[in-house]
Structure 1
Amino acid sequence: MTVTAVPSPRRVLADAVPGARVRDVLLVVAGAGLVAGIGQLAIPLPFTPVPLTLGTFAVLFVGAALGPARAAAAMVLFLLAGVLGAPVFADGESGWALASFGYAVGYLPAAVLLGYLARRGADRSVFRTALAAVAATAVIYVPGVLWLMGYTGAWFGEALALGVVPFLIGDAVKAVAAALLLPGAWRLLGERR
Protein backbone atom coordinates (compact mmCIF):
# COMPACT_ATOMS: atom_id res chain seq x y z
CA MET A 1 0.00 0.00 0.00
CA THR A 2 1.31 3.41 -0.96
CA VAL A 3 0.72 6.44 1.17
CA THR A 4 0.79 9.81 -0.53
CA ALA A 5 1.50 12.89 1.44
CA VAL A 6 -1.11 15.61 1.43
CA PRO A 7 0.61 18.97 1.04
CA SER A 8 0.13 21.16 4.05
CA PRO A 9 -1.65 24.44 3.44
CA ARG A 10 0.58 27.46 3.13
CA ARG A 11 0.25 30.70 4.94
CA VAL A 12 -1.76 33.54 3.47
CA LEU A 13 -0.89 37.20 4.03
CA ALA A 14 -3.26 37.51 7.01
CA ASP A 15 -1.35 34.78 8.83
CA ALA A 16 1.58 37.21 9.11
CA VAL A 17 -0.52 39.40 11.43
CA PRO A 18 0.01 38.41 15.07
CA GLY A 19 -2.90 37.23 17.18
CA ALA A 20 -5.57 34.63 16.77
CA ARG A 21 -9.32 35.04 17.24
CA VAL A 22 -9.32 38.80 17.74
CA ARG A 23 -7.09 39.13 14.67
CA ASP A 24 -9.43 36.94 12.64
CA VAL A 25 -12.52 38.94 13.65
CA LEU A 26 -10.80 42.24 12.86
CA LEU A 27 -9.56 40.91 9.51
CA VAL A 28 -13.04 39.67 8.56
CA VAL A 29 -14.59 43.04 9.40
CA ALA A 30 -11.77 44.84 7.57
CA GLY A 31 -12.20 42.57 4.54
CA ALA A 32 -15.93 43.27 4.35
CA GLY A 33 -15.24 46.98 4.85
CA LEU A 34 -12.59 47.01 2.12
CA VAL A 35 -14.95 45.42 -0.41
CA ALA A 36 -17.73 47.82 0.60
CA GLY A 37 -15.48 50.88 0.55
CA ILE A 38 -13.66 50.20 -2.70
CA GLY A 39 -16.94 49.06 -4.28
CA GLN A 40 -18.23 52.61 -3.85
CA LEU A 41 -15.83 53.68 -6.59
CA ALA A 42 -18.43 53.05 -9.25
CA ILE A 43 -18.89 54.38 -12.74
CA PRO A 44 -22.40 53.99 -14.16
CA LEU A 45 -22.36 52.88 -17.77
CA PRO A 46 -25.24 54.14 -19.95
CA PHE A 47 -25.56 50.89 -21.90
CA THR A 48 -25.83 48.47 -18.94
CA PRO A 49 -27.57 48.44 -15.56
CA VAL A 50 -24.38 47.07 -13.97
CA PRO A 51 -21.88 49.74 -12.87
CA LEU A 52 -18.14 49.46 -13.33
CA THR A 53 -16.56 49.16 -9.86
CA LEU A 54 -13.33 48.21 -8.17
CA GLY A 55 -15.25 45.83 -5.89
CA THR A 56 -14.01 42.80 -7.80
CA PHE A 57 -10.41 43.90 -7.27
CA ALA A 58 -11.06 44.16 -3.53
CA VAL A 59 -12.58 40.67 -3.56
CA LEU A 60 -9.46 39.28 -5.25
CA PHE A 61 -7.24 40.87 -2.64
CA VAL A 62 -9.44 39.87 0.32
CA GLY A 63 -9.69 36.28 -0.90
CA ALA A 64 -5.95 35.86 -1.36
CA ALA A 65 -4.94 37.80 1.73
CA LEU A 66 -7.40 36.25 4.18
CA GLY A 67 -7.59 32.66 2.96
CA PRO A 68 -10.80 30.76 2.28
CA ALA A 69 -12.43 30.72 5.72
CA ARG A 70 -11.86 34.35 6.70
CA ALA A 71 -12.65 35.52 3.15
CA ALA A 72 -15.93 33.58 3.24
CA ALA A 73 -16.83 35.17 6.57
CA ALA A 74 -15.95 38.64 5.22
CA MET A 75 -18.11 38.17 2.12
CA VAL A 76 -21.04 36.79 4.15
CA LEU A 77 -20.77 39.83 6.45
CA PHE A 78 -20.66 42.14 3.39
CA LEU A 79 -23.72 40.48 1.82
CA LEU A 80 -25.72 40.39 5.05
CA ALA A 81 -24.97 44.04 5.73
CA GLY A 82 -26.13 44.98 2.24
CA VAL A 83 -29.28 42.87 2.29
CA LEU A 84 -30.18 44.24 5.73
CA GLY A 85 -29.96 47.83 4.50
CA ALA A 86 -26.40 49.03 4.97
CA PRO A 87 -25.29 51.04 1.90
CA VAL A 88 -22.38 48.72 1.06
CA PHE A 89 -23.14 47.88 -2.57
CA ALA A 90 -22.03 50.03 -5.51
CA ASP A 91 -23.23 53.64 -5.38
CA GLY A 92 -24.33 53.23 -1.75
CA GLU A 93 -27.08 50.79 -2.67
CA SER A 94 -28.50 48.12 -0.39
CA GLY A 95 -31.02 45.30 -0.61
CA TRP A 96 -31.25 42.51 -3.11
CA ALA A 97 -33.48 44.14 -5.77
CA LEU A 98 -30.54 45.41 -7.83
CA ALA A 99 -29.38 44.45 -11.30
CA SER A 100 -25.87 43.92 -9.94
CA PHE A 101 -26.83 41.87 -6.86
CA GLY A 102 -25.82 38.60 -8.53
CA TYR A 103 -22.27 39.88 -8.89
CA ALA A 104 -22.18 40.68 -5.17
CA VAL A 105 -23.35 37.10 -4.51
CA GLY A 106 -20.53 35.89 -6.76
CA TYR A 107 -18.03 37.63 -4.50
CA LEU A 108 -18.45 34.84 -1.94
CA PRO A 109 -17.37 31.83 -4.05
CA ALA A 110 -14.76 33.95 -5.82
CA ALA A 111 -13.12 35.00 -2.55
CA VAL A 112 -13.21 31.43 -1.25
CA LEU A 113 -11.68 30.11 -4.49
CA LEU A 114 -8.87 32.66 -4.46
CA GLY A 115 -8.29 32.03 -0.76
CA TYR A 116 -8.09 28.29 -1.42
CA LEU A 117 -5.64 28.81 -4.27
CA ALA A 118 -3.58 31.23 -2.18
CA ARG A 119 -3.33 28.59 0.56
CA ARG A 120 -1.72 26.41 -2.10
CA GLY A 121 0.77 29.10 -3.08
CA ALA A 122 -1.00 30.57 -6.12
CA ASP A 123 -0.38 34.10 -4.85
CA ARG A 124 3.42 33.71 -4.80
CA SER A 125 4.09 34.19 -8.51
CA VAL A 126 2.79 36.69 -11.03
CA PHE A 127 1.62 34.05 -13.51
CA ARG A 128 -0.19 31.84 -10.99
CA THR A 129 -1.78 34.85 -9.30
CA ALA A 130 -3.04 36.11 -12.66
CA LEU A 131 -4.55 32.71 -13.46
CA ALA A 132 -6.16 32.49 -10.02
CA ALA A 133 -7.56 36.03 -10.37
CA VAL A 134 -9.03 35.25 -13.80
CA ALA A 135 -10.64 32.07 -12.43
CA ALA A 136 -12.11 33.94 -9.45
CA THR A 137 -13.44 36.70 -11.71
CA ALA A 138 -15.10 34.10 -13.95
CA VAL A 139 -16.81 32.72 -10.83
CA ILE A 140 -18.26 36.19 -10.13
CA TYR A 141 -19.73 36.35 -13.63
CA VAL A 142 -21.81 33.17 -13.25
CA PRO A 143 -24.32 34.31 -10.59
CA GLY A 144 -24.02 37.85 -11.93
CA VAL A 145 -25.24 36.90 -15.39
CA LEU A 146 -27.91 34.54 -14.06
CA TRP A 147 -29.26 37.23 -11.72
CA LEU A 148 -29.11 39.84 -14.48
CA MET A 149 -31.15 37.55 -16.74
CA GLY A 150 -33.84 37.14 -14.09
CA TYR A 151 -33.80 40.79 -13.03
CA THR A 152 -33.98 42.30 -16.52
CA GLY A 153 -35.66 39.49 -18.46
CA ALA A 154 -32.70 39.44 -20.84
CA TRP A 155 -31.85 36.23 -22.63
CA PHE A 156 -28.38 34.71 -22.13
CA GLY A 157 -26.67 36.48 -25.04
CA GLU A 158 -28.08 39.85 -23.98
CA ALA A 159 -27.00 39.26 -20.38
CA LEU A 160 -23.46 38.47 -21.55
CA ALA A 161 -23.44 41.65 -23.63
CA LEU A 162 -24.71 43.71 -20.68
CA GLY A 163 -22.94 42.03 -17.77
CA VAL A 164 -19.70 40.50 -19.04
CA VAL A 165 -18.38 41.97 -22.28
CA PRO A 166 -18.15 45.60 -21.08
CA PHE A 167 -16.10 44.49 -18.07
CA LEU A 168 -13.59 42.07 -19.62
CA ILE A 169 -10.82 44.62 -20.20
CA GLY A 170 -11.22 46.16 -16.75
CA ASP A 171 -11.24 42.75 -15.10
CA ALA A 172 -8.11 41.77 -17.01
CA VAL A 173 -6.43 44.93 -15.67
CA LYS A 174 -7.58 44.02 -12.15
CA ALA A 175 -6.14 40.50 -12.55
CA VAL A 176 -2.80 41.96 -13.66
CA ALA A 177 -2.83 44.40 -10.73
CA ALA A 178 -3.51 41.54 -8.31
CA ALA A 179 -0.77 39.52 -9.99
CA LEU A 180 1.70 42.31 -9.29
CA LEU A 181 0.45 43.28 -5.83
CA LEU A 182 0.16 39.90 -4.11
CA PRO A 183 3.55 38.36 -5.01
CA GLY A 184 5.07 41.78 -4.28
CA ALA A 185 3.56 41.69 -0.79
CA TRP A 186 5.14 38.28 -0.21
CA ARG A 187 8.51 39.60 -1.35
CA LEU A 188 8.18 42.46 1.14
CA LEU A 189 7.51 39.91 3.86
CA GLY A 190 10.55 37.94 2.72
CA GLU A 191 8.58 34.82 1.80
CA ARG A 192 8.34 33.43 -1.66
CA ARG A 193 7.81 29.72 -1.16
Structure 2
Amino acid sequence: MSALTSAAVTPRPGAVLADLLPATSAARARAREIALVVGGAALTGAAAQLSVPVPGSPVPVTGQTFAALLVGVGLGAGRGFLSLALYLLAGMAGMPWFAEGQSGAAMPSLGYVLGMLLAAAVVGTLARRGGDRGAFRTAGTMAVGTVVTYAVGVPYLAAATGMSLGQAVSAGLVPFLFGDALKAALAMGALPAVWKAAGSRR
Protein backbone atom coordinates (compact mmCIF):
# COMPACT_ATOMS: atom_id res chain seq x y z
CA MET A 1 0.00 0.00 0.00
CA SER A 2 1.42 3.40 -0.91
CA ALA A 3 1.89 6.20 1.58
CA LEU A 4 -0.82 8.16 -0.26
CA THR A 5 -3.32 5.31 0.07
CA SER A 6 -2.46 4.72 3.71
CA ALA A 7 -2.93 8.38 4.57
CA ALA A 8 -6.25 8.44 2.77
CA VAL A 9 -7.82 5.50 4.59
CA THR A 10 -6.42 5.93 8.11
CA PRO A 11 -8.31 8.41 10.31
CA ARG A 12 -5.93 10.92 11.84
CA PRO A 13 -6.06 14.21 13.71
CA GLY A 14 -6.93 17.00 11.33
CA ALA A 15 -8.71 14.71 8.87
CA VAL A 16 -12.23 15.11 7.55
CA LEU A 17 -14.41 12.30 6.26
CA ALA A 18 -13.46 12.88 2.63
CA ASP A 19 -9.82 12.23 3.52
CA LEU A 20 -10.74 8.60 4.21
CA LEU A 21 -11.39 7.97 0.52
CA PRO A 22 -8.39 6.18 -1.00
CA ALA A 23 -6.39 7.37 -3.97
CA THR A 24 -3.55 5.23 -5.29
CA SER A 25 -1.87 7.88 -7.45
CA ALA A 26 -1.60 11.62 -7.79
CA ALA A 27 -3.83 11.57 -10.87
CA ARG A 28 -6.54 9.64 -9.02
CA ALA A 29 -6.20 12.01 -6.08
CA ARG A 30 -6.87 14.97 -8.38
CA ALA A 31 -9.85 13.18 -9.92
CA ARG A 32 -11.15 12.46 -6.42
CA GLU A 33 -10.86 16.13 -5.47
CA ILE A 34 -12.80 17.23 -8.55
CA ALA A 35 -15.47 14.59 -7.96
CA LEU A 36 -15.87 15.64 -4.34
CA VAL A 37 -16.30 19.31 -5.22
CA VAL A 38 -18.78 18.63 -8.02
CA GLY A 39 -20.59 16.04 -5.93
CA GLY A 40 -20.94 18.48 -3.04
CA ALA A 41 -22.49 21.07 -5.33
CA ALA A 42 -24.84 18.49 -6.83
CA LEU A 43 -25.90 17.26 -3.38
CA THR A 44 -26.73 20.81 -2.31
CA GLY A 45 -28.69 21.40 -5.50
CA ALA A 46 -30.65 18.18 -5.07
CA ALA A 47 -31.41 18.93 -1.42
CA ALA A 48 -32.65 22.40 -2.38
CA GLN A 49 -35.47 20.75 -4.34
CA LEU A 50 -36.86 19.27 -1.12
CA SER A 51 -38.83 22.43 -0.60
CA VAL A 52 -41.89 23.40 1.44
CA PRO A 53 -43.29 26.96 1.12
CA VAL A 54 -43.65 28.97 4.33
CA PRO A 55 -46.81 31.13 4.45
CA GLY A 56 -45.90 34.81 4.58
CA SER A 57 -42.23 34.22 3.78
CA PRO A 58 -40.37 34.34 0.45
CA VAL A 59 -37.98 31.74 1.84
CA PRO A 60 -39.10 28.07 1.76
CA VAL A 61 -38.01 25.29 4.07
CA THR A 62 -35.53 23.12 2.16
CA GLY A 63 -32.81 20.56 2.72
CA GLN A 64 -30.33 22.98 1.15
CA THR A 65 -28.76 24.41 4.30
CA PHE A 66 -28.36 21.01 5.91
CA ALA A 67 -26.70 19.65 2.77
CA ALA A 68 -24.36 22.64 2.56
CA LEU A 69 -23.24 22.15 6.16
CA LEU A 70 -22.71 18.43 5.62
CA VAL A 71 -20.63 19.26 2.55
CA GLY A 72 -18.48 21.60 4.59
CA VAL A 73 -18.04 19.14 7.45
CA GLY A 74 -17.47 16.14 5.22
CA LEU A 75 -15.13 17.75 2.70
CA GLY A 76 -13.31 20.30 4.82
CA ALA A 77 -13.05 24.06 4.43
CA GLY A 78 -11.31 24.22 1.05
CA ARG A 79 -13.35 21.63 -0.81
CA GLY A 80 -16.54 22.72 0.93
CA PHE A 81 -16.01 26.34 -0.08
CA LEU A 82 -15.32 25.33 -3.69
CA SER A 83 -18.42 23.11 -3.79
CA LEU A 84 -20.68 25.91 -2.58
CA ALA A 85 -18.96 28.42 -4.85
CA LEU A 86 -19.68 26.12 -7.80
CA TYR A 87 -23.27 25.74 -6.64
CA LEU A 88 -23.68 29.51 -6.30
CA LEU A 89 -22.02 30.49 -9.58
CA ALA A 90 -23.77 27.80 -11.64
CA GLY A 91 -27.12 28.77 -10.15
CA MET A 92 -26.55 32.45 -10.84
CA ALA A 93 -25.58 31.55 -14.41
CA GLY A 94 -28.89 29.75 -14.98
CA MET A 95 -28.61 26.25 -13.54
CA PRO A 96 -32.09 25.67 -12.01
CA TRP A 97 -30.93 24.10 -8.76
CA PHE A 98 -31.64 26.78 -6.20
CA ALA A 99 -34.69 26.22 -3.99
CA GLU A 100 -37.86 25.44 -5.95
CA GLY A 101 -35.88 25.07 -9.18
CA GLN A 102 -34.95 28.74 -9.32
CA SER A 103 -31.81 30.28 -10.76
CA GLY A 104 -30.30 33.72 -11.30
CA ALA A 105 -29.18 36.51 -9.02
CA ALA A 106 -32.46 38.31 -8.32
CA MET A 107 -33.89 36.04 -5.61
CA PRO A 108 -34.39 37.61 -2.17
CA SER A 109 -33.17 34.32 -0.69
CA LEU A 110 -29.79 34.48 -2.49
CA GLY A 111 -28.22 35.79 0.69
CA TYR A 112 -28.76 32.40 2.31
CA VAL A 113 -26.70 30.77 -0.41
CA LEU A 114 -23.96 33.33 0.16
CA GLY A 115 -24.18 32.51 3.86
CA MET A 116 -23.92 28.80 3.14
CA LEU A 117 -20.75 29.45 1.16
CA LEU A 118 -19.13 31.02 4.22
CA ALA A 119 -20.69 28.48 6.57
CA ALA A 120 -19.23 25.55 4.62
CA ALA A 121 -15.75 26.98 5.09
CA VAL A 122 -16.33 27.64 8.79
CA VAL A 123 -17.73 24.20 9.64
CA GLY A 124 -15.05 22.58 7.48
CA THR A 125 -12.41 24.30 9.58
CA LEU A 126 -14.10 23.16 12.78
CA ALA A 127 -14.35 19.61 11.44
CA ARG A 128 -10.58 19.50 10.93
CA ARG A 129 -10.31 20.32 14.62
CA GLY A 130 -12.56 17.42 15.62
CA GLY A 131 -15.83 19.33 15.48
CA ASP A 132 -17.71 16.35 14.00
CA ARG A 133 -16.28 13.54 16.13
CA GLY A 134 -18.60 13.74 19.12
CA ALA A 135 -22.32 14.38 19.50
CA PHE A 136 -22.10 17.68 21.33
CA ARG A 137 -19.20 18.96 19.28
CA THR A 138 -21.15 18.13 16.13
CA ALA A 139 -24.19 20.00 17.44
CA GLY A 140 -22.00 23.00 18.16
CA THR A 141 -20.42 22.87 14.72
CA MET A 142 -23.79 22.72 13.00
CA ALA A 143 -25.10 25.56 15.19
CA VAL A 144 -22.16 27.78 14.24
CA GLY A 145 -22.73 27.07 10.55
CA THR A 146 -26.42 27.83 10.89
CA VAL A 147 -25.70 31.14 12.62
CA VAL A 148 -23.28 32.13 9.84
CA THR A 149 -25.91 31.30 7.21
CA TYR A 150 -28.57 33.43 8.88
CA ALA A 151 -26.13 36.24 9.65
CA VAL A 152 -25.80 36.77 5.89
CA GLY A 153 -29.20 35.58 4.70
CA VAL A 154 -31.49 37.58 6.97
CA PRO A 155 -29.96 41.04 6.34
CA TYR A 156 -29.82 40.25 2.62
CA LEU A 157 -33.52 39.33 2.73
CA ALA A 158 -34.33 42.63 4.43
CA ALA A 159 -32.35 44.61 1.86
CA ALA A 160 -33.79 42.72 -1.12
CA THR A 161 -37.43 42.99 -0.04
CA GLY A 162 -37.55 46.31 1.82
CA MET A 163 -38.48 44.55 5.06
CA SER A 164 -37.26 45.88 8.36
CA LEU A 165 -34.67 43.72 10.06
CA GLY A 166 -37.29 42.59 12.57
CA GLN A 167 -39.66 41.57 9.79
CA ALA A 168 -36.86 39.70 8.05
CA VAL A 169 -36.08 37.83 11.25
CA SER A 170 -39.75 36.88 11.62
CA ALA A 171 -40.04 35.76 8.00
CA GLY A 172 -36.57 34.40 7.35
CA LEU A 173 -35.33 32.94 10.62
CA VAL A 174 -38.00 32.14 13.21
CA PRO A 175 -40.00 29.67 11.05
CA PHE A 176 -36.87 27.57 10.48
CA LEU A 177 -35.51 27.17 14.01
CA PHE A 178 -37.37 23.95 14.83
CA GLY A 179 -36.25 22.29 11.61
CA ASP A 180 -32.67 23.42 12.20
CA ALA A 181 -32.75 21.79 15.63
CA LEU A 182 -33.94 18.52 14.09
CA LYS A 183 -31.18 18.65 11.48
CA ALA A 184 -28.57 19.24 14.18
CA ALA A 185 -29.91 16.26 16.11
CA LEU A 186 -29.64 14.09 12.99
CA ALA A 187 -26.05 15.20 12.44
CA MET A 188 -25.24 14.55 16.12
CA GLY A 189 -26.07 10.90 15.60
CA ALA A 190 -24.81 10.36 12.08
CA LEU A 191 -21.40 12.03 11.86
CA PRO A 192 -19.81 10.64 15.04
CA ALA A 193 -21.16 7.21 14.10
CA VAL A 194 -19.37 7.36 10.75
CA TRP A 195 -16.11 8.24 12.50
CA LYS A 196 -16.61 5.45 14.99
CA ALA A 197 -17.17 3.00 12.16
CA ALA A 198 -13.98 4.24 10.51
CA GLY A 199 -12.02 3.51 13.65
CA SER A 200 -11.50 7.11 14.75
CA ARG A 201 -10.44 7.84 18.30
CA ARG A 202 -12.05 10.91 19.80
State how far apart, in whole Å, the 1-side matches of 2:13 and 2:117 are.
20
Q: For residues 11-26 of structure 1, what are the structure 2 equivalents within 5 Å?
A: 11-19=15-23, 20-26=29-35
Contact 1:57 1:178 in 2 (8 A): no
Show CA shifts across 1:93-134 (max 9, x none): 001111211101111111111100000001000000001100
State how far apart, in whole Å, the 2-side matches of 1:39 and 1:167 are.
14
Q: What secondary structure does 1:97 align onto?
A: coil
Q: For residues 1-193 of structure 1, what are the structure 2 equivalents within 5 Å?
A: 10-19=14-23, 20-193=29-202
Aligned Cα root-mean-square deviation (Å): 1.1
Deviation of residue 192 (structure 1)?
Answer: 3.0
Contact 1:145 1:160 in 2 (8 A): yes
Contact 1:60 1:178 in 2 (8 A): no
State how far apart, in whole Å, the 1-side matches of 2:70 and 2:146 are.
12
TM-score, structure 2 normalization: 0.90
State how far apart, in whole Å, the 1-side matches of 2:153 and 2:167 are.
13
State how far apart, in whole Å, the 2-side matches of 1:181 and 1:111 are.
18
AA in 1 matched with 2:21: V
Corresponding residue for residue 3 of structure 1: none
Show CA shifts across 1:26-82 (max 9, x none): 000000000000111000112111000011110121111000000010000000110
Moved over 4 A (4+): none
Corresponding residue for residue 3 of structure 2: none
AA in 2 matched with 1:137: T
State how far apart, in whole Å, the 2-side matches of 1:179 and 1:100 are.
27
State how far apart, in whole Å, the 2-side matches of 1:49 and 1:25 are.
34
TM-score, structure 1 normalization: 0.94
Deviation of residue 9 (structure 1)?
Answer: 5.7
AA in 1 matched with 2:51: A
Q: What secondary structure does 1:106 align onto?
A: helix
